[in-house]
Structure 1
């Protein structure tokens, strides 16, 4: 893919260019925003751009032997919220104008490369601009979950040579007078960054930066504003920069926190030896290793060996063994703060309508859902999770095109799976909404559209996660490798081992992405998982997924494994996991209740049928604060006996009784099925719908 690289001169933007090239992209142009000459300033009060060192940016044209596009920054940081919409005179609009000029000059530019590492603020705004100019965003070096010490070491090891060009951290020492407790000055000794650190390389400063991190929790990569850098050389450069004359400018000479930067008065480029130009295979492999599965992600050797014994080489998807979803309690359910709209098919909205296209059915259903939300004083912004069931997953792109018309910049998380829908329906949709007690404390959304090593960018109009109160709803996760957006494709001679290796790598990659998403919201995978629905495309994949889930998370989390005929991108497994968030503020947990503030208890319960019963069943439940989840499965123990409505009804009643009993036991309050917001039943596709609906009447 041809990309334009946003450069500031700092280490992050240059390291990101190296990752783009390592991932097979072609950098065709450079783009930079600089201070307006009329201001006479080197350093602007910008939330978006590094401007110190702008004097040397023109040299990058020769260093990279590429066209350089530059534009003055005329706007200011006006729209400072978590989200961004085009705002007149905002500094983000300068970026739009800059990239529009690049796109006009080089029409075949397909992507934008940005080096922001920890800044969601910057990422959201660059993503907004790339959408406007219809480009992809590539931030492979952006790793919000990467250990910063490890990241800096990789930069140094990769051959990137950058110097500190600005310091803004604690000084050497200071006398501080505490007027409340002691009239005498107290001498505090700090070993921070000083003006004489300007011009030193990252390699030279590494021990000092590491010490600052260990002692004061300073960001070792400078992401807290401790320092900014200027890259003088990297393997992509055909020429290196030599600083001939610099001037130290004191921006703030505070006794505790000195702020100083280098003004470059004279510099030139010099040729490099041919062998020093370009990424070696060793460096390319080192950079790409970030996107690979680590040993800590992999299942144990004992588990892998056991799973190999459980599957055969004949692993074809049998659609006759898959399930159909049925949303029980098919009426709209309003139990503040939750509002649920059950699984809606076009037959529920327009019973006499002839079968239409997927796009027509999707539009009819979403219009209906939208009207129901509005009638209750809600909007799509209140929706925290949507389930979409389609008859044919090959129509995924068409579904997204129709679906996308209803959502703005932060669409709700979504799970999409293929199922054998009844009544010739092409799509079924349900949603869960949340009414905020205080609009100021509404939904927090994680919507990442850029390609990186962090987690997969969204492949449709949905967000990766939404958090309301102390609950986190995560979109369905498949095993896409984040930096390539492709599923793993191991090549082994033995077909059984190849299928198992692909399955295990998909499971490992998807669980790792799932963990990174919730960590970004201050939660943990094993610590905060509340309930799990795992979709697999073969019955023999279920035990493998279950074993890897329990090894990674534990057996106590309620989980059910469902066989479906198809998943997005032909994935073998997709995870839908609900999380509680212990880190959530107490007001958000209790905003709809008058309970006293206290530590929220967490309870897990599990029960199963006896070995001699005709019906086998298992139920699990989890409860914390105002959220509880119960999952259960039931079946016929003797598969040689033909299934009848009577046997099914008995199994159904047994399961409901077990669910009701465990639901009552998991909470301090007396609960029953009537307290449940929604119930989804997955039933074997060979069971007649009428039998299931008879059981549904039990509710």
Structure 2
């Protein structure tokens, strides 16, 4: 991309410019916001911009770098100081024009008039969400891409070392800078003005101030500002400061500024050919492997080595296929409303579906279906909320498409509906043609918290309007609660080295009530290039690399959350997607003998599951290679158990010993099971396509680190229960004569099973946080087959027992179950809807997919069973937005998802159960958000004011 660099003249903005060039972007010009003319000689205070040293910017850019510079004097000030800036959330037009953010907007408008080819902006934001979100707001309004390669780049010392030591060519100058502003009393004083930044680092001055006072050694907290006089970007010359003057308030420990009275440029023996800097020998995008490629390849290889010496998790194997095909659509969307306003809307499908005769017509039909779904969704949302924009309450969206090729057109309408400001997180996958009921192309479900959209868009530091009744009850109550946030959204739209950018209308993560984290689906993109990661070794496939990188990206996003971030081992529900291309890759890279080639598709799937399992548990165990808290400086450096620290990072919560801490504040005892990171249960499914031709994607619901510190995250026992015929002569039959094919190379036969009927096993494991707070149960149903390849099953009985197992598994010890059907937010059922088969000749693809079931019957049966079980519970009431108690929507929301294959890894070393052929998998989410919020408040360390 061609970009304009926002330069202050300091180390951060210039280093970000260098990194942008290194990543293949072309520098066209630079832009700078200088102090207003009236305040030019004073120390201009700005929340957004560095103005110290502005007097040398023109020499820096035009004579040292050799590109045009555009300067605008600041007219506004920091008027709108809310964390999430929008141009329309100010009180009036006069205030908006008076905000210094609007000065940036007008400056970039001027740049674009002279350089319409520019499509990106670089900036030096490191940790300031305040600064980054404002730059992203302006970029979004001007349809520009934000480049922020320093964003969460690493720890304070790592960032500073990277800035001072980076060289792109042997002859390039390292960065040299001097301090031009200090505001860190005591510590950096006016006598440090003009001092070399490199000298201050090498002499240990900065590290000593960090140890003593907690000063940010990279100056991110505004402790100091710099002017760069030489670096690799200065190809034409370097600055020479001839005369300077210290401007201060007379107090040596006060704020001071170094005014540069006279300077000149000392020319270098280097001349750039044409305008614009593109690479200049700095780019590493020449086909060589990056350090990230090498690191991830190494970690994947390590996972293989460790899998040879450690026990694998108990796993159930690939699923069977249904022989019943129905094309009619029955039923309506499922809507679940819980206490506290948490809702789930599931199974949104278009009422009608039409056939298309061309690819363009097919895409338009998908758009038409999506618009019909949005219309239905909007009607539902308006019944749930009185907000003018109820879609702002949605915090997570599942978007299922028949073909990923439809995504681009659908995304245009998705963006219009949800907007670009604080949107929900999203997971999007391609299921394959004819996999949805009646040949439909789009299915959607979503999680929402009533009132959370309005909550995000008000200043939570002020309670103005809480008492006047203008806000909904949910928002008023949430603003009064200073312990927890109703919702927080992490939406980074800048390209960086941290995690994949969310340029589209979705956020990296949404956090509900400071406790539950809903992560967007993560694929194996390299954040700095936004391209899929590639293997550096012949024995590691690209899909393996993408899988580990997906976990790494998820870990980076968790680490970027507020309240000490998060980590992968706090995952409550893990779902790993694989595309059909991953199976093909396994088949192509494997050698089959004559006996096994007939079952190539099944063997390939089993090989995929086996390798994926080791990679996933390796990634969880080492948190994707990301050290939690290292960027923010909150990483625990002690060798003691991390569970001995509270949510604020204090050992024993600040008490003298562990026993006193647990006795006084009721801190949970760490459990052995919880400490085993490999115990995170994972459901893996294979389907047709993933975004950007990815071969792996990870979708997680996690406990926030704050919640996991207060409340224990643990696994329930693995429960396995067989379903046997009434007697040895009975058959496992169904009145509906539903057939499930358990093989891969043919459709279901109608062979009746005689006296040796196979046993059906229900396997279940639940991962919980706290007691009665939240958990996700993963349940599978599988058949133990020795010779027969198909059987008739009573699907109602199997589904019923799966739901019962989910509830039974929430027990702790000898106590009753923590949850019942009324606590179920949603049920997601996965079934194999297509048969995998080998090609007839060697020229055919090694594996192909034959769709055999669109799941219409399963949807109806699951809804009926959930309704029946819900009727057995006493009706409860929930509070609506008006504050009145009304009967709850008592049936849990449910979604039925067709896949090509599935695999369940409990993470346990117990292999005593039979190896099963799985034909159904279910994930059930239990949530009592109010109880979780209360338990966190009770168990966290609190300061009482008098």
* Same fold at TM > 0.5: yes
- Quick one: which of 533, 536, 542 aligns to 2:578? 536
SS of 2:717's equivalent?
strand
The reply to whether residue 559 of structure 1 matches residue 682 of structure 2 is yes
Counterparts of 1:275 and 1:583 in 2: how far apart (Å)?
54
Change in CA separation of 1:105 and 1:90 when aligned onto 2, cut-off 3 Å:
same
Change in CA separation of 1:62 and 1:280 when aligned onto 2, cut-off 3 Å:
closer
- Quick one: which of 392, 409, 413 aligns to 2:403? 392
1:38 to partner: Cα distance: 2.1
Please give the residue correspondences for 1:349-360 in structure 2 after superposition, counting only pairs within 5 Å: 357-360=365-368
1:353 to partner: Cα distance: 12
The residue number in structure 2 matching 1:366 is 374
1:170 to partner: Cα distance: 2.6
Q: Is the 8 A contact 1:387 1:416 kept in 2?
A: yes
The residue number in structure 2 matching 1:72 is 73
SS of 1:398's equivalent?
helix
Counterparts of 1:252 and 1:415 in 2: how far apart (Å)?
57
Q: For residues 123-175 of structure 1, what are the alpha-carbon distances to aligned partners after superposition, in whole Å with 9 as ceiling and x for unaligned?
A: 11111111122111111222x2511211111111121111111111133xxxx
The residue number in structure 2 matching 1:343 is 347
The residue number in structure 2 matching 1:581 is 704
SS of 1:298's equivalent?
helix
Change in CA separation of 1:327 and 1:131 when aligned onto 2, cut-off 3 Å:
farther
The residue number in structure 2 matching 1:184 is none
Q: Is the 8 A contact 1:195 1:260 kept in 2?
A: yes
SS of 2:517's equivalent?
strand
- Quick one: which of 108, 111, 114 aligns to 2:120? 111
The residue number in structure 2 matching 1:63 is 64
Counterparts of 2:320 and 2:251 in 1: how far apart (Å)?
72
1:460 to partner: Cα distance: 2.7
1:251 to partner: Cα distance: 4.0
Q: Is the 8 A contact 2:428 2:690 kept in 1?
A: yes
1:456 to partner: Cα distance: 0.4
Q: For residues 199-226 of structure 1, what are the alpha-carbon distances to aligned partners after superposition, in whole Å with 9 as ceiling and x for unaligned?
A: 1222101021122122322101001111
Counterparts of 1:692 and 1:246 in 2: how far apart (Å)?
78
The reply to whether residue 510 of structure 1 matches residue 550 of structure 2 is yes
Change in CA separation of 1:20 and 1:272 when aligned onto 2, cut-off 3 Å:
same
Instruction: Indicate the larger mover: 222-231 or 431-440.
Output: 431-440
1:608 to partner: Cα distance: 4.3
The residue number in structure 2 matching 1:593 is none
The residue number in structure 1 matching 2:522 is 477
The reply to whether residue 167 of structure 1 matches residue 212 of structure 2 is no
Please give the residue correspondences for 1:378-389 in structure 2 after superposition, counting only pairs within 5 Å: 379-389=390-400
Please give the residue correspondences for 1:400-419 in structure 2 after superposition, counting only pairs within 5 Å: 400-408=411-419, 409-419=421-431
Q: For residues 490-517 of structure 1, what are the alpha-carbon distances to aligned partners after superposition, in whole Å with 9 as ceiling and x for unaligned?
A: 376x5xx3xx431222122211111111
1:81 to partner: Cα distance: 1.1
The reply to whether residue 525 of structure 1 matches residue 570 of structure 2 is no
The residue number in structure 1 matching 2:260 is 264
The residue number in structure 1 matching 2:86 is 85
Counterparts of 1:668 and 1:229 in 2: how far apart (Å)?
63
The residue number in structure 1 matching 2:499 is 455
- Quick one: which of 592, 611, 618 aligns to 2:763? 618
Q: Is the 8 A contact 2:708 2:769 kept in 1?
A: no
Counterparts of 2:392 and 2:289 in 1: how far apart (Å)?
37
SS of 1:95's equivalent?
helix
Counterparts of 1:621 and 1:396 in 2: how far apart (Å)?
34
1:525 to partner: Cα distance: 2.0
Please give the residue correspondences for 1:274-293 in structure 2 after superposition, counting only pairs within 5 Å: 274=270, 292=293
Q: Is the 8 A contact 1:33 1:70 kept in 2?
A: yes
Change in CA separation of 1:627 and 1:93 when aligned onto 2, cut-off 3 Å:
same
The residue number in structure 1 matching 2:858 is 692
- Quick one: which of 157, 168, 175 aligns to 1:149? 157
Change in CA separation of 1:528 and 1:476 when aligned onto 2, cut-off 3 Å:
same
Counterparts of 1:639 and 1:99 in 2: how far apart (Å)?
70
The reply to whether residue 301 of structure 1 matches residue 316 of structure 2 is no
1:330 to partner: Cα distance: 5.1
Counterparts of 1:133 and 1:305 in 2: how far apart (Å)?
50
Q: Is the 8 A contact 2:307 2:614 kept in 1?
A: no
Counterparts of 2:200 and 2:382 in 1: how far apart (Å)?
58
Counterparts of 1:383 and 1:127 in 2: how far apart (Å)?
22
Q: Is the 8 A contact 2:353 2:440 kept in 1?
A: no
Change in CA separation of 1:657 and 1:213 when aligned onto 2, cut-off 3 Å:
same
Counterparts of 1:487 and 1:576 in 2: how far apart (Å)?
17
Counterparts of 2:697 and 2:688 in 1: how far apart (Å)?
12
Change in CA separation of 1:335 and 1:352 when aligned onto 2, cut-off 3 Å:
farther
1:297 to partner: Cα distance: 7.9
Counterparts of 2:332 and 2:818 in 1: how far apart (Å)?
20
Counterparts of 1:504 and 1:620 in 2: how far apart (Å)?
26
- Greater relative contact order (Cα 8 A, min sep 6): structure 1 or 2? 2
Q: Is the 8 A contact 1:385 1:433 kept in 2?
A: yes
Counterparts of 1:505 and 1:340 in 2: how far apart (Å)?
34
Q: For residues 286-314 of structure 1, what are the alpha-carbon distances to aligned partners after superposition, in whole Å with 9 as ceiling and x for unaligned?
A: 9995755636982453615869xxxxxxx
Q: Is the 8 A contact 1:609 1:615 kept in 2?
A: no
Instruction: Indicate the larger mover: 272-281 or 431-440.
Output: 272-281
Q: For residues 205-253 of structure 1, what are the alpha-carbon distances to aligned partners after superposition, in whole Å with 9 as ceiling and x for unaligned?
A: 1021122122322101001111111111111112100101000111472
Question: Which ranges in structure 2 are unaligned for 5 or more consecutive residues?
Answer: 88-95, 167-173, 309-318, 357-361, 452-473, 480-484, 584-604, 621-676, 725-757, 835-851, 867-946
Q: Is the 8 A contact 2:296 2:549 kept in 1?
A: no
The residue number in structure 2 matching 1:139 is 148
Q: Is the 8 A contact 1:327 1:678 kept in 2?
A: no
Q: Is the 8 A contact 2:761 2:782 kept in 1?
A: yes
Question: Which ranges in structure 1 are unaligned for 5 or more consecutive residues?
Answer: 172-191, 308-317, 587-598
1:582 to partner: Cα distance: 3.8
The residue number in structure 1 matching 2:692 is 569
Counterparts of 2:803 and 2:111 in 1: how far apart (Å)?
62
Please give the residue correspondences for 1:602-617 in structure 2 after superposition, counting only pairs within 5 Å: 602-609=713-720, 614-617=759-762
Instruction: Indicate the larger mover: 70-79 or 552-561.
Output: 552-561
Q: Is the 8 A contact 2:353 2:369 kept in 1?
A: no
Change in CA separation of 1:517 and 1:340 when aligned onto 2, cut-off 3 Å:
same
Counterparts of 1:52 and 1:581 in 2: how far apart (Å)?
39
Counterparts of 2:573 and 2:441 in 1: how far apart (Å)?
28
Counterparts of 1:677 and 1:610 in 2: how far apart (Å)?
24
1:651 to partner: Cα distance: 3.9
For these two proteins, the number of residue pairs brought into alignment is: 645
The residue number in structure 1 matching 2:802 is 655
Counterparts of 1:384 and 1:531 in 2: how far apart (Å)?
17
Change in CA separation of 1:282 and 1:80 when aligned onto 2, cut-off 3 Å:
closer
The residue number in structure 2 matching 1:175 is none
